[in-house]
């Protein structure tokens, strides 16, 4: 069994104990049934579109949003969202022509399918007497579960990838942290393989004052330079132009985003060996119709944990899971 030091712990459903507990997280479904919003008593919040199960907001208690979303992002389900955290499955990038995913759109169907909201669970903070002056405890995190399966795919997606699967996507909001994880099941009688990635757009103040640590010595494919292969030689990676790199089999679990010489985010992978680092820079940003404003590339960086350098094979009846925890270090 693979050792997973960052495997998420399960959250017990505390609904039955709500009467004896302190302030509880609130979970609201929008009037048009398009999005779910969760808030912690401490002030952190999270919003997830059912279209793509896309996280479009993750705010700290002070209201600072840790995610970047384009001003022209489509939030009505007409196309994948430019920003937030789109879910990439079962293929990353343009599908290869000689593969079972070849008829799928770029990045697969998860980010442009409507997911089902499966419910919430919560975990309590410490019950030590000093933790509360009232003798009750507040819930310190809330987990939202979303489901997608072959039975609720569009006819087009089902025809393009006719395999039987089930995915449960869990999004957990905690104090200064956001955890996203998928459980992928092969519920059919044939083996199939897949790729998965969390396409996370992190909000930053200034790309010129930003660098990444945790990638030194890692081999990567540089998509900007004709998919050439190189080894990262910088202990502090600066972004100085269009960047689109797939870092493979990273031995260190954490990549840190540093802004103004201060740690801003920790991105901690669980059973995800790879990370994509992406920024479109000036020319490409201006050429993208849903990227706005044009100079917003200065306020975002994508640090995308995934399993995309190779394929993961899932035999009939088997299950695979992996995820990532982002910590806001403000």
Is 199 designated active site? yes
Give the number of residues written for the chain.
Answer: 330
Count CB neighbours of 161 within 10 A.
Answer: 22
DSSP for 249-296, written as a single string? S-SSSEEEEEETTEEEEEEEEES--EEEEEE-HHHHHHH-TT--SGGG
Which residue in 199, 211, 232, 321 is the catalytic one? 199
Give the CA count within 13 Å in the CB-facing half-sphere of 134: 7
Backbone dihedral region of 224: left (phi > 0), alpha (psi from -120 to 50 degrees) or beta?
alpha
Q: How far is CA 239 from the centre of its chain?
A: 21
> Angle at CA 78, nearest 5°, toward 77 and 80?
75
CA distance 74 to 76: 6
Is 99 designated active site? no
Count CB neighbours of 98 within 10 A.
Answer: 6
Does residue 244 contact residue 252 with C-beta atoms inside 8 Å?
Answer: no
Q: Which parts of the chain fold into alpha helices (H)? A: 155-160, 281-287
* Token digits of residue 128: 């030590």
Rg (CA), the chain: 20
What is the pairing mode between strands 219-222 and 228-231? antiparallel
CA distance 126 to 11: 14
Which residue in 44, 124, 304, 321 is the catalytic one? 304
Give catalytic residues, as residue numbers.
Answer: 199, 304
């Amino acid at each position: 069994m693979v050792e997973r030091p960052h495997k998420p712990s399960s959250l017990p459903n505390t609904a039955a104990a709500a009467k004896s507990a302190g302030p509880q997280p609130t979970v609201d479904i929008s009037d048009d049934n398009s999005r779910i919003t969760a808030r912690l008593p401490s002030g952190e919040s999270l919003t997830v579109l059912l279209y793509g199960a896309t996280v479009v907001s993750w705010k700290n208690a002070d209201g600072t949003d840790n995610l970047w979303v384009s001003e022209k992002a489509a939030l009505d389900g007409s196309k994948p969202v430019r920003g937030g955290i789109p879910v990439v499955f079962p293929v990353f990038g343009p599908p290869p022509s000689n593969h079972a995913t070849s008829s799928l759109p770029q990045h697969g169907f998860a980010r442009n399918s409507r997911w089902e909201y499966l419910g919430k669970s919560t975990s309590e903070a410490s019950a030590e007497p000093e933790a509360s002056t009232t003798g009750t405890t507040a819930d310190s995190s809330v987990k939202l579960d979303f489901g997608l399966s072959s039975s609720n795919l569009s006819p087009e997606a089902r025809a393009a990838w006719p395999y039987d699967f089930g995915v449960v996507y869990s999004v957990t909001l905690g104090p200064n942290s956001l955890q996203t994880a998928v459980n992928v099941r092969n519920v059919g009688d044939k083996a199939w393989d897949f790729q998965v990635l969390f396409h996370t757009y992190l909000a930053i103040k200034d790309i010129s004052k930003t660098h990444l640590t945790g990638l030194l010595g890692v081999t990567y494919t540089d998509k900007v330079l004709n998919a050439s292969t190189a080894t990262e030689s910088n202990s502090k990676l600066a972004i100085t132009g269009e960047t689109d790199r797939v870092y493979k089999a990273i031995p260190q679990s954490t990549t840190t985003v540093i802004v103004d010489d201060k740690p801003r985010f920790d991105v901690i992978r669980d059973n995800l060996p790879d990370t994509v680092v992406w920024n479109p820079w000036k020319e490409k940003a201006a050429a993208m119709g849903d990227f706005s404003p044009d100079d917003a590339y200065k306020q975002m960086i994508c640090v995308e944990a995934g399993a995309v350098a190779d394929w993961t094979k899932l035999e009939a009846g088997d299950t695979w899971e992996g995820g990532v925890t982002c910590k806001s270090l403000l």
